């Protein structure tokens, strides 16, 4: 009975506030364990789950109340040593499985969301502009609109990563691929300084490596036309690693 009262109370709060609820279902199709993480992009409270373990073929879900803007990504090759949890890629530096409001260190493949309220328009994309560590896809479940469709970076960018961008694991294999901005910190690669506009910041040979592998993903800061997707009517979202 207590659970029913709590559920009724939560529903009433949502109705009064006008919040739109979306469910993120996060699935691991990789042949190895990953540790998904979430980060809210403003100073408001984080989601109940900011980091967790997900074994192969497993899935978990998180309820998200709009308005909400933030990121979902996954860490790899994680372990605990002398009480400190750490990962080989996309480490958030919390020393715990939960990231607790800390973002992942590039390179990391990012699923980016803006969840609306009151039946507004959601926006979502996949970004490799700060580098790549895992393939990922976003699939809306429900919703409406001409670009309310799946998007993905399904290719293994690590397989074509240039040596100067490569992050190697303890066995020498490439486990992530830096962006040119992360690797070299040049204004023309980072779309900063005099290159901080759509007119002056253009694709480079390096960003084209990512774009050729993942045509639907952001490969640099002003890669909007082919990379931004949106839905109305309040869909849920399936986020799949190694789709």
Residues with Cβ within 8 Å of residue 228, at least 6 apart in sequence: 123, 125, 147
Residue 4 included in any domain:
no
Q: Do 136 and 54 touch, CB atoms closer than 8 A?
A: no
Residue 77 included in any domain:
yes
Residues shown for the chain: 243
CA distance 66 to 183: 35
Residue 61 included in any domain:
yes
Residue 115 included in any domain:
yes
Question: How many domains, the chain?
Answer: 1
Q: What pLDDT does residue 243 have? A: 97
Residue 186 included in any domain:
no
According to DSSP, the residues that pair with 79 across neighbouring strands are: 86
According to DSSP, the residues that pair with 81 across neighbouring strands are: 84
Residue 130 included in any domain:
yes
Q: Do 50 and 30 touch, CB atoms closer than 8 A?
A: no
Residue 206 included in any domain:
no
Closest CA to 216 of 199, 233, 228: 228
Q: Do 95 and 78 touch, CB atoms closer than 8 A?
A: no
According to DSSP, the residues that pair with 65 across neighbouring strands are: 21
Mark out the alpha helices in 43-197 (DSSP H runs).
180-184, 187-190
Pairing of strands 21-28, 151-153: unpaired
SS3 of 242, please?
coil
Residue 227: how many CB atoms within 10 A of its CB?
22
CATH of the domain at 120: 2.60.110.10
Residue 187 included in any domain:
no
CA distance 90 to 198: 28
Q: What pLDDT does residue 13 have? A: 39
Q: What pLDDT does residue 12 have? A: 37
pTM reported for the whole predicted model: 0.90
Q: What domain range is 25 assigned to?
A: 20-155+215-241
Q: What pLDDT does residue 84 have? A: 96
CA distance 240 to 135: 8
Residuewise pLDDT in 10s, the chain (243 residues): 433 333 334 333 333 345 678 999 999 999 999 999 999 998 889 999 999 999 999 999 999 999 999 999 999 999 999 999 999 999 999 999 999 999 999 999 999 999 998 779 999 999 999 999 999 999 999 999 999 999 999 999 999 999 999 999 999 999 999 999 999 999 999 999 999 999 999 999 999 999 999 999 999 999 988 899 999 989 999 999 999
């Amino acid at each position: 009975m207590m659970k029913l009262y709590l559920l009724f109370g939560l529903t009433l709060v949502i109705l009064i506030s006008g919040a739109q609820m979306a469910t993120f279902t996060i699935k691991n199709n990789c042949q190895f364990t990953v540790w998904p993480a979430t980060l809210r992009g403003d100073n408001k409270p984080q989601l109940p789950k900011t980091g967790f373990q997900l074994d192969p073929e497993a899935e978990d879900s998180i309820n998200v109340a709009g308005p909400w803007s933030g990121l979902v990504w996954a860490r790899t090759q994680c372990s605990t040593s002398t009480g400190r949890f750490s990962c080989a890629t996309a480490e958030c530096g919390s020393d715990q499985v939960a990231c607790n409001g800390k973002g992942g260190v590039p390179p990391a493949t990012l699923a980016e969301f803006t969840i609306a309220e009151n039946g507004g328009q959601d926006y979502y994309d996949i970004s490799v502009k700060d580098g790549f560590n895992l393939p990922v896809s976003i699939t809306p479940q429900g919703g409406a609109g001409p670009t309310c469709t799946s998007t993905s970076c399904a290719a293994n960018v690590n397989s074509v990563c240039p040596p100067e961008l490569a992050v190697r694991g303890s066995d020498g294999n490439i486990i992530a691929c830096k962006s040119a901005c992360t690797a070299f910190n040049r204004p023309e690669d980072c779309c900063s300084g005099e290159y901080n506009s759509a007119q002056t910041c253009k694709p480079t040979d390096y960003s084209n490596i990512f774009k050729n592998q993942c045509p639907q993903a952001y490969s640099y800061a002003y890669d909007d036309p082919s990379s931004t997707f949106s839905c109305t009517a309040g869909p849920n979202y399936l986020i799949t690693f190694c789709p």
